Amino acid sequence: MKITNDIRYIGVNDHQVDLFEGQYVVPNGMAYNSYVIMDEKIAVMDTVDKNFIDQWLDNLSATLEGRVPDYLIVQHMEPDHSAGIARFMDVYPDATVVSSAKAFTMMQGFFGRDFADRRLVVGEGVTLCLGKHTLTFVTAPMVHWPEVIVTYDAADKVLFSADGFGKFGALDVEEDWACEARRYYIGIVGKYGVQVQALLKKAAALDISMICPLHGPILTENLGYYLNLYDIWSSYKVESEGVVIAYTSVYGNTKAAVELLAQELEKNGCPKVAVNDLARCDMAEAVEDAFRYGKLVLATTTYNGEIFPFMREFIHHLTERGYRNRTIGMMENGSWAPMAIKVMTKMLEGSKDITYTQNNVRILSAMNEENRQQIAALAKELA
């Protein structure tokens, strides 16, 4: 696929994968993107997953039309992008691999080779001239691995953004960008908001007309939309107004209370109520909702003097990703010794800029009239 006069797409679509990184459901598959810059010297941008190396090499060969590549630029060492390095270097013995110093250490770990006789180590601001195209390398440590670099091509004003601006989903499936890009970002990159902010500041100094990520579609129009979303996500701002209810229920009593709360919120004019049964929903979707909206209600049972396991897992996903800047309300159910609110508050104590509601709900087995009044008060406060 021709991207510009000199840049070609040679990536692959993966419809075999069911769980990306062994945990994220990807019903529409994944794309592993790779690019070729055709100039006086030829640069290949990253490789692909191990299951598609042959297909990728065929794509590359067809694009080269008899020429041979001079450089393989490795921006990120995760195996879905780096698995083809050793094969490439064997197929093209005169090529030089270009990457960061940390990446070559990782290559030794992955392949038992660091290509010491055929490598070019690059860092912040280092340039590589291909002819008409001059590439500038920008370090992006912990976005989301320590070795990451991104690459700017001044000739075509293209930012090769590594995993930045990526999304779940193969390129032969049409779907909303923001939904799957948000789930991808929060799940995989979300912990590293400070580092993403640092990269966005570097990107602001560049004249960018196109973003070529390692996953998902090439972005060519309305780049401000994508940059603004990345700014919101990486600074932990509220993207949309609404209330997320995340709950677990053993015998249905907590679920009934949650359903009543959702009704009360809607009656009070809440613009969006997203309800997630943590035992049954996609956990990554629930985490995405918690970061998207400004208010969260945690509703669960006391369980072995603790909280129900799915709720513990959910809160852990939030805290390890730096959850902050939100309003949180709580509902607990305990037949004889309710402990859930105490446990959840303790789990969240390291989270920054959290506002807790004045109204919470404490159920002893099943809802009573007092609980209904508590739910109405909590709904009114949140709405």
| Domain end (from 200, 234, 268) | 234
Range 221-227 average pLDDT: 96
Inside any domain, residue 199: yes
Query: Is there a single domain that holds both residue 190 and residue 256?
Result: no
Query: Is there a single domain that holds both residue 210 and residue 230?
Result: yes
Query: Is there a single domain that holds both residue 35 and residue 99?
Result: yes
Average pLDDT of the chain is 97
Query: Is there a single domain that holds both residue 319 and residue 260?
Result: yes
Question: What's the pLDDT band for 336 if we cut at 50, 70, 90?
Answer: confident
Query: Is there a single domain that holds both residue 224 and residue 251?
Result: no
Phi, psi of 320 (to 5 degrees): -70, -15
Question: CATH no. for residue 294?
Answer: 3.40.50.360
Query: Is there a single domain that holds both residue 218 and residue 274?
Result: no
Q: 119-145: b or e for each residue (b if 16 or more CB lie within 10 Å)?
A: beebeeebebebeebebbbbbbbbbbb
Query: Is there a single domain that holds both residue 230 and residue 247?
Result: no
| Domain end (from 234, 268, 289) | 234
Query: Is there a single domain that holds both residue 229 and residue 244?
Result: no
Strand-pair category, 134-139 with 127-129: antiparallel
Token pair of 297, please?
A: 């209600």
Inside any domain, residue 230: yes
Inside any domain, residue 280: yes
Range 245-249 average pLDDT: 97
Inside any domain, residue 1: no
Quote the domain boundaries for residue 286.
240-382
pLDDT at position 340, please?
Answer: 96
pLDDT tens, residue by residue, 259-275: 999 999 999 999 999 99
| Domain end (from 182, 199, 234) | 234
**Tally of structural domains, the chain:** 2
pLDDT at position 288, please?
Answer: 97
User: CA triplet 90, 93, 99: central angle to 5 degrees?
Assistant: 85
pLDDT at position 1, please?
Answer: 87
Inside any domain, residue 69: yes
Inside any domain, residue 218: yes
pLDDT tens, residue by residue, 4-56: 999 999 999 999 999 999 999 999 999 999 999 999 999 999 999 999 999 99
Inside any domain, residue 285: yes
Q: Cis check for the bond before 81: say yes or no (omega within 30 of 0).
A: no
Closest by Cα among 373, 367, 378 to 252: 367
* DSSP labels, 124-185: TT-EEE-SS-EEEEEE-TTSSSTT-EEEEETTTTEEE-TTTT--SB-TTS---HHHHHHHHI
pLDDT at position 366, please?
Answer: 95
One-letter amino acid of 67: R
Query: Is there a single domain that holds both residue 138 and residue 194?
Result: yes
Separation of alpha carbons 285 and 309, rounded Å: 17
Q: Say whether pLDDT at 377 is over 90.
A: yes
pLDDT tens, residue by residue, 178-197: 999 999 999 999 999 999 99
Query: Is there a single domain that holds both residue 86 and residue 230?
Result: yes
Inside any domain, residue 2: no
Query: Is there a single domain that holds both residue 280 and residue 202?
Result: no
Query: Is there a single domain that holds both residue 85 and residue 228?
Result: yes
Question: CATH no. for residue 209?
Answer: 3.60.15.10
pLDDT tens, residue by residue, 59-111: 999 999 999 999 999 999 999 999 999 999 999 999 999 999 999 999 999 99
Token pair of 28, please?
A: 């529409």
CB 45 within 8 A of CB 36: yes
Q: Say whether pLDDT at 230 is over 90.
A: yes
pLDDT tens, residue by residue, 148-161: 999 999 999 999 99
Token pair of 166, please?
A: 């990526």
